[in-house]
Structure 1
Amino acid sequence: MTQALPPGPAKPRFVQGAYALAMPMRGLPRLRARYGNAFTVNVPIFGRAVVISDPAEIKQLFQTDTALADNIEPNLGRVLGSRSLFALRGEEHKRQRKLLVPPFHGRRLLAYERIVEDETVREMASWPLGRPFPVLPSAMRITLNAILRAVFGAEGKEFDELRELLPKMVTLGSRLAAAPIPRFGGKVGPWARFFAMRREYDLAIDRLVAKTRRTGDLDQRDDVLAMMLQSRYDDGTEMSGQDIADQLLTLLAAGHETTATTLAWAVERLRRHPDVLAGLVDEVDAGGKRLREATIIEVQRTRPVIDMVGRTVRAESLELGRWRVPKGYSILVSIGLIHDDDAVFPDAARFDPARFTGSRPDLYEWIPFGGGTRRCLGAAFANMEMSVVVRTMLRDMTLEPTTEPAERWHSRGIANAPGKGGLAVVHRRTAPSPESEETTSTGAHT
């Protein structure tokens, strides 16, 4: 029987918002314990919203026609640009997404693996030996340099400008993503600083596009920018300058911070599970990858860096499983709640990569990249990148286990990171390692 809405707290919106801020990782489990796996909240930014964590209802939502429920509002398009995939809806989103799929699959992914390994080796050369250091800043540099090289193909003046600008821009944008934009954009304050960075970014992209067009060798290049300049919509038109700038910013931002944060969590988890760590080292030495890929999946299950994905109801109402959700309501999928559900993942609190060594996760239950038509376009690239970084680290370094308590969750605005940055203690390995290894691309996540 369909009910109007699931139950939920009756406190005023600002009280519920304060509760969410004060208890970001404990609030939702407490609400689920009280109300069940669906409940209604009223919070700042999203307003009235239904939070779900039932696999069947999640699957139904991700498969719902975009005319009935589409892109969540507000979304990251407010910081990534109006032509970003995060901002586009309906047919326009589908049209744009179709052009951006090719560079992150198949042969092109293989071409990027060497880039990721090169950047990892270069960064590890600066790691301190025998003493604790946070791996997150280092992972940020690896993923930023790797995505910059994958997107632009070569280094140069603009590349260096973006390498300096983007970390500051992404950090500030993450913090502002859910903040109200002042009327007229504001002349001072954080939004004014962000818009100034955005203008600087746009100028650098304009120069890069012009330089790339002048080379005349687009069909011989594997980088994303060259592909964008050659791509055409079904009607034969090419991507506009705004399309290119916004989509590149989306790729650079989304393909950088979340992947680096997951790598920091991987280090944090492995140091506290020495049996898994030892098994991974043995596998790397033997040239395998099965346990490594399962471990990356399990890290993303137990330490998802994004809290929520969702949709906004566009129809007059949407029947979703047991509920009838009115127009204008947000439907938020709690990634943490479904990943931590014993009915979905037995003994869910236990870090156990073995649960994925013989099978791939259901993509309506394991959802660190979201789902449906809005599933992260770079999921395969991110999994490949994490696999290569972990493989290279364990091949060249010995990572010390620890008996210290787990690191607390720390919100960076968009991503949830380990509170100490994923503290690592490493030593250089002296034993020779294999000269080559098989492909690490995780095609099951494409």
Structure 2
Amino acid sequence: MTTVTRPPGPATLPPGPTVPRAVQGAYALASPLRGMRRLREKYGDAFTVNVPIFGHAVVISGAAEVKQLFTAGAELVDNQEVNLGRVLGPRSLFALSGEEHRRQRKLLVPPFHGRRLAAYEKIVEEETVRELATWPEGRAFATLPSMMRITLNAILRAVFGAEGAEFAELRALLPPFVTLGSRLAVLPITKKGRWNPWRRFERMRREYDAIVDRLIAKARPDGDDVLSMMLQTRYDDGSGLSREEIADQLLTLLTAGHETTATTLAWAVERLRRHPALLEELAEDDGKLLDATILEVQRTRPVIDLTARQVKQDGFQLGRWTLPKGYVVLVSIALIHDDDALFPHAATFDPHRFEGARPDLYQWIPFGGGTRRCLGAAFATMEMTVVLRTLLRDFTLEPTTEADERWHSRGVAYAPAKGGRAVVRRRGGIA
């Protein structure tokens, strides 16, 4: 019989493993996705864990409880105390809670919706065509590095609006900066010690801040790039964003709008090559099947597995459970996406399930959900659509019978272990 150690206060918690936190943490690091699936098989769609960074936490994947969590007020559940603000800065959206989060989010929505979003499509296509021109024909290569360059260049141009010396510096700085930050974000490493990796990260952050300071000084007051809009924007009291707020929010946009989108694109290549019939259908597609394919890639290969909230009121009732204040609630994105009751034959990659139907945003949640759903979801979707549309227009993607690529943890995101390998032929070229 499974027993659970309960903290003080009224609580009704789901069952879970009782081994020490360090052991659970080691298991979570060594086998995160497989471990989650095994825990669900043993305990059901909700279970209690005790792991480094999160501490005592309840993992859920039942649709009703996920919806309840995402729609609960900030007085009940809100941002977890230990969050990506550790690497993105204390003024980033990931670090903010409550009213402060709502105020900043409201200011940052306009650049990523409506006509401004449509204006970025040309930038994404230009960067895609430029990168695809370097692709070799007839031999296998990993597409993830290319996707990283496309999404990095596109978000840099969208955020800053032009080219220049600072862009070259950011192109060189951001990839290792993001990689290191992604790893530090999921490791229980303090900032103490002479040889601590945080020291290297903090040096890179100072370099980033210096570049942003120069870009702020050069920004056009009437520009339509994201930085110019941030400089123009005002809170209800007439005050503008501080330099620290701008730097942290730009870093959030640059990182969140870069690695995760590129990784999903690499997964899309990996999935498409293993479904030749779908490739043939996409060759005659009017765009609807491509949209559905992107949704299905994100369902079957979510690059972020967890989204979290922290209980702010003792005795919070979440479905069957009564949770104490301070507990973290983790939503397992992969587990809810794998639910046959929500997605029949969930293990099967089938984009047709989304043709003519939009997903339920409390069940299909690669961007998280509720008031903390990813601000750049629309931008990311546009980017993926433009990149894949251009790729399938200009190249034939050769199918393969190789085994599926394994999931590989890059820290925050999960990528195809071989980088989404492809073999391509240019359309209209010589065979």
Q: TM-score range by the shorter chain?
A: over 0.9
Task: Out of 71-80 and 116-125, give the one that drifted further.
Answer: 71-80
Equivalent position of 1:32 in the other structure: 40
Residue 17 (1) aligns with residue 25 (2):
yes
Please say if residues 306 and 333 of structure 2, whose CA atoms lie closer than 8 Å, have aligned partners that are also in contact.
yes
Residue 41 (1) aligns with residue 41 (2):
no
Residue 130 (1) aligns with residue 132 (2):
no
Please say if residues 11 and 322 of structure 2, whose CA atoms lie closer than 8 Å, have aligned partners that are also in contact.
yes
Partner amino acid for 1:411?
Answer: S
Partner SS for 2:33: coil
1:119 is aligned, of 115, 127, 149, to 127
Please say if residues 55 and 364 of structure 1, whose CA atoms lie closer than 8 Å, have aligned partners that are also in contact.
yes
1:418 shift after superposition = 0.3
1:188 shift after superposition = 3.0
Partner SS for 1:333: strand
Partner amino acid for 1:208?
Answer: L
Residue 367 (1) aligns with residue 365 (2):
yes
Please say if residues 37 and 52 of structure 1, whose CA atoms lie closer than 8 Å, have aligned partners that are also in contact.
yes
Distance in 1 separating the partners of 2:332 and 2:29: 16
Distance in 1 separating the partners of 2:109 and 2:195: 38
Distance in 2 separating the partners of 1:270 and 1:340: 19
Equivalent position of 2:78 in the other structure: 70
Structure 2 residues without counterparts, runs of 5 or longer: 1-9
Distance in 1 separating the partners of 2:60 and 2:125: 39
1:181 shift after superposition = 4.8
Q: How does 1:169-180 map to 2 (within 5 A)?
A: 169-180=177-188
Equivalent position of 1:377 in the other structure: 375
Distance in 2 separating the partners of 1:368 and 1:85: 18
Partner SS for 1:26: helix
1:271 is aligned, of 251, 270, 273, to 273
Distance in 1 separating the partners of 2:421 and 2:258: 19
Partner SS for 2:252: helix
Distance in 2 separating the partners of 1:318 and 1:355: 36
Residue 234 (1) aligns with residue 236 (2):
yes
1:254 is aligned, of 248, 253, 256, to 256
Distance in 2 separating the partners of 1:314 and 1:181: 25
Distance in 1 separating the partners of 2:11 and 2:57: 15
Please say if residues 111 and 222 of structure 1, whose CA atoms lie closer than 8 Å, have aligned partners that are also in contact.
no
Distance in 2 separating the partners of 1:244 and 1:363: 29
Equivalent position of 2:151 in the other structure: 143
Partner amino acid for 1:234?
Answer: D
1:102 shift after superposition = 0.2
Equivalent position of 2:6 in the other structure: none
Please say if residues 136 and 260 of structure 1, whose CA atoms lie closer than 8 Å, have aligned partners that are also in contact.
yes
Equivalent position of 1:84 in the other structure: 92
Q: How does 1:187-266 map to 2 (within 5 A)?
A: 187-212=194-219, 215=220, 218-219=221-222, 221-266=223-268
Distance in 2 separating the partners of 1:172 and 1:374: 24
Distance in 1 separating the partners of 2:318 and 2:178: 35
Distance in 2 separating the partners of 1:3 and 1:322: 11
Task: Out of 24-33 and 318-327, give the one that drifted further.
Answer: 24-33
Distance in 2 separating the partners of 1:43 and 1:182: 16
Please say if residues 11 and 323 of structure 2, whose CA atoms lie closer than 8 Å, have aligned partners that are also in contact.
no
Distance in 2 separating the partners of 1:271 and 1:256: 23
Task: Out of 21-30 and 339-348, give the one that drifted further.
Answer: 21-30
Give the RMSD, CA atoms, in angstroms.
1.2
1:18 shift after superposition = 1.7
Distance in 2 separating the partners of 1:208 and 1:423: 36
- CA deviations on 1:258-299 (whole Å, 9 max, x unpaired) are 00000000000000001111111221xxxx210001000000
1:24 shift after superposition = 1.6
What TM-score do the two structures reach when normalised by structure 1?
Answer: 0.93
Partner SS for 1:49: strand
Partner SS for 2:32: coil
Partner amino acid for 2:131?
Answer: E
Distance in 2 separating the partners of 1:411 and 1:382: 20
Please say if residues 130 and 427 of structure 1, whose CA atoms lie closer than 8 Å, have aligned partners that are also in contact.
yes
What TM-score do the two structures reach when normalised by structure 2?
Answer: 0.96
CA gap 1:194/1:3 in 2 versus in 1, 3 angstroms: closer
1:209 shift after superposition = 0.2
Distance in 1 separating the partners of 2:188 and 2:302: 26
Please say if residues 296 and 349 of structure 2, whose CA atoms lie closer than 8 Å, have aligned partners that are also in contact.
yes
Partner SS for 1:348: coil
Partner amino acid for 2:206?
Answer: R
1:186 shift after superposition = 4.4
Q: How does 1:425-444 map to 2 (within 5 A)?
A: 425-430=423-428
Partner amino acid for 1:110?
Answer: A
Partner SS for 1:130: coil
Partner SS for 2:284: helix
Distance in 2 separating the partners of 1:178 and 1:402: 34
Task: Out of 8-17 and 266-275, give the one that drifted further.
Answer: 8-17
CA gap 1:56/1:21 in 2 versus in 1, 3 angstroms: same
Residue 417 (1) aligns with residue 415 (2):
yes
Please say if residues 147 and 252 of structure 1, whose CA atoms lie closer than 8 Å, have aligned partners that are also in contact.
yes
Please say if residues 11 and 315 of structure 2, whose CA atoms lie closer than 8 Å, have aligned partners that are also in contact.
no
What count of residue pairs does the alignment treat as equivalent?
420
1:368 shift after superposition = 0.3
Equivalent position of 1:165 in the other structure: 173
- CA deviations on 1:170-214 (whole Å, 9 max, x unpaired) are 00000100234535x5443311110000000000000000011xx
Partner amino acid for 1:19?
Answer: Y
Partner SS for 2:290: helix
1:69 shift after superposition = 0.8
Please say if residues 11 and 324 of structure 2, whose CA atoms lie closer than 8 Å, have aligned partners that are also in contact.
no
1:22 shift after superposition = 2.3
Equivalent position of 1:282 in the other structure: 284
